[in-house]
Amino acid sequence: MKTERIETDFLCVGAGIAGLMAAIRARESGVNVVVAEKGNALTSGAGGAGNDHFVCYIPEIHGPDIKLFIEELMRGQMGLIGQMLGPSQTEAWIRKTFDIVKLWDDWGIPMKYNGEWKYSGHSFPGRLRHHLKYQGKNQKKILTRQALERGAKIMNRTMVIELLGDMNGVTGALAIDTREDRFIEFQAKSVLLATGGITRLYPGISPAVMNNARLPLNLTGDGRAMAYRLGGEIFNVGLHSNHVGLKNFARSGQGSWLGVYRGPDGKPLGHYVSEPDKDYGDILPEVDKKLFARILESGRGPVYMDCTGVSDDHLEFLIHGLINEGNEAVANHFKEEGVDLRKNPIEFMTYPFTGGAGQIYCNANMETSIKGLYAAGDELTSSISAASVFGWLSGEKAAGHAKESSSSNIDKCRAKIEERKNLIDSIQNRKAGYDWKDANIALQKTMADYTGGVRSEYMLKAGLNHLRRLRTKIDDSLVAKNRWELIRCIELLNLYDLGELIFLAALDRKESRGEHQRVDYPYTDPLLNGKLQIIKRVDGQTRLEWKTVVHAIQK
Ligand SMILES: Cc1cc2nc3c(=O)[nH]c(=O)nc-3n(C[C@H](O)[C@H](O)[C@H](O)COP(=O)(O)OP(=O)(O)OC[C@H]3O[C@@H](n4cnc5c(N)ncnc54)[C@H](O)[C@@H]3O)c2cc1C
């Protein structure tokens, strides 16, 4: 297979929101930037079809005390991010939000609604509101243009498959062209991992429909798996979260829904709102995302999002929100099926097993435990606001590192490069074997059966053995009939790595916490509050440890 070699100061892996913001900032800081994107920067990733709620602190609106804003924000689903980042890093994020919002507005992403900063959704009625309603449908096109105008080189259809370097520092990455028979060897002084969230590790809400997923099909935790293989630290693996959304039409994005969650008897499930309201909507899923599953399991369900009686202008606001939040397909589906939200309540459900594969640990400078390797976006937190702010900051830090570093050398990694190339060749050239779908279904079933319900040492050990048996088989027999299948196969190998980490982390976490419920340790250990469970590979062995993390981003 042909090989091309590209040298750059800074390589961004992933042209999502975080990757593009990092590329823009690093170019402004005067270094060369290449962005390697598996799909197409114009539409790829979780932000590809749009988002519409942006956490943003505006002192003129919220008052001078940023702590009050953060306190209120932490009551909803953003509380999980705050707990994980710690107070000072959370404050650094929030303090930067308005600067980024003003930049985006200048660049042409409409951050105002009818000429005003409009807050709606994700907040409790009558309290301080933190989610700015914006119109993000074209955000990827605009950010891509900004990156290109500043001279970043964006390489679409380029999937990074392995980081190069060692625990002392990253030197580059190996990638493949997703359409043509070609490897790309990147040599870089700094590398950012911004490959987004993760899907396909657990069964979807309608397992027979492969792409009916909350996130795009090709977000498979590649960054986390590659960071782990190089020796980077991944934290809080195995702590799943949930999401709430439409039944049978898996979609992220809760904030646009402005109706009331009700049971089949028509009674509201919560006490926050009693009729559709475009300023607040029903915040119940952020109070308890599992509630919807419990109601269904108890036989009292189904549960509905009820917008009946909504006024015409509020309905227009809702549809406008869906279109901007990457959910135009949902709006179109309603139209095609004749669903009238003024008359028809819509069935909703808890989506189980979101997240779960942990995040990449970074220090106060956005640097991972490996010199020159950075992480941002859903690799580190979640939400568009955090992805854009931390993307920006990581681009600044990575550029600073590149300026101070002498050129790197990937030739020391020749053995690893050849080993990965041989792996790709064998997947492509095998005449028979398991295809990616077989291997994916087996993985999802194993993860759901052994880590999906209440956990115990017996179940986790049995599941881990089973997963390792499967892994040996697929390592020797995965087969791809074309380039598209080849990409799915490589993603699967990353997913298998992450699946194994979930078992190891769950075995090591001797307590129950959130979705991690151990029948043999049925209590939450207060000594682990405020700590991150770190999993990493040292000298070929997996090591687990606990770390207390609270850092401010350094100026
Ligand atoms: C429908 C929907 C609505 C949402 N609405 C909101 C909202 O209103 N407010 C909010 O705060 N959040 C929202 N979110 C979440 C938000 O979109 C994400 O938090 C954010 O986009 C994360 O940015 P990111 O850069 O980390 O990842 P992404 O934007 O997902 O980008 C990751 C990129 O990496 C690329 N990539 C992956 N692997 C590789 C590889 N190996 N090599 C090269 N490239 C790779 C992907 O193709 C992708 O382009 C929503 C999500 C969805 C799906």
Angle between helices 87-107 and 66-73 (to 10 degrees): 100
Please give the number of the atom of ligand 1 that sits closest to the Cα of 159.
42
**Tokens coding 545:** 């440890």
**Residue 379 CA, ligand 1 centroid: distance in Å:** 10
Q: Please tell me the predicted confidence (pLDDT) of residue 555.
A: 45
What is the tens place of the pLDDT at every residue in 117-162? 999 999 999 999 999 999 999 999 999 999 999 999 999 999 999 9
CA distances (Å), origin 475, targets 446, 490, 536, 537 = 17, 11, 22, 20
CA distances from 258 to 248, 275, 276 (A): 20, 9, 5
- Across 60-74, 131-145, 196-210, 518-532, least confident range: 196-210
3-state secondary structure 38-88: CCCCCCCCCCCCCCCEEECCCHHHHCCCHHHHHHHHCCCCCHHHHHHHCHH
Residues in the chain, total:
555
Ligand 1 geometric centre to CA of 342 (Å): 31
- Ligand 1 binding site (Cβ under 6 Å of any ligand atom): 13-19, 36-39, 44-47, 51-53, 159-160, 194-197, 215, 218-219, 222, 251-253, 255, 325-327, 377-378, 382-385, 387
The whole-number pLDDT of residue 550 equals 63
User: Per-residue pLDDT tens for 397-426?
Assistant: 999 999 999 988 999 999 999 999 999 999
> Ligand 1 centroid to 117 CA: how many Å?
24
Ligand 1 centroid to residue 312 C-alpha, Å: 32
Q: Whose CA is nearest to atom 14 of ligand 1?
A: 383
Which tokens belong to 312? 């015409």
For the segment 17-31, the average pLDDT, to the nearest whole number, is: 98
Q: What token pair was written down for 77?
A: 């689903």
If you measure from the C-alpha of residue 279 to the centroid of ligand 1, how many angstroms do you get, rounded to a whole number? 26
CB-based contact 232:378 (threshold 8 Å): no
For domain 415-528, give its CATH number from 1.10.10.10, 1.10.3720.10, 1.20.58.100, 3.90.700.10.
1.20.58.100
321-358 pLDDT tens trace: 999 999 999 999 999 999 999 999 999 999 988 888 99
pLDDT at residue 79, rounded to an integer? 85
Cα distances from 219 to residues 197, 224, 240, in angstroms, run 6, 11, 16
Q: Tell me the C-alpha distance between 401 and 363, whole Å.
A: 14
pLDDT in tens, 450-500: 999 999 999 999 999 999 999 999 999 999 999 999 999 999 999 999 999
Give the three-state DSSP class for 529: coil
The predicted model gives 286-293 an average pLDDT of 92
pTM of the entire predicted model? 0.97
The distance from CA 283 to its chain's CA centroid, rounded to whole angstroms, is 22
What is the residue whose two structure tokens read 């590659």?
A: 226
Residue 413 alpha carbon to ligand 1 centre in Å? 30
Torsion of CA 248, 249, 252, 257, to 10 degrees: -90
Which atom of ligand 1 is the closest one to the Cα of 255? 8
Residue 392's pLDDT is what? Answer: 98
Domain ranges of the chain: 52-133, 242-354, 415-528
Contact 125, 287 (CB under 8 A): no
Residue 317 has pLDDT above 90, yes or no: yes
pLDDT of 554 > 70? The answer is: no
Nearest CA to ligand 1 atom 35: 14
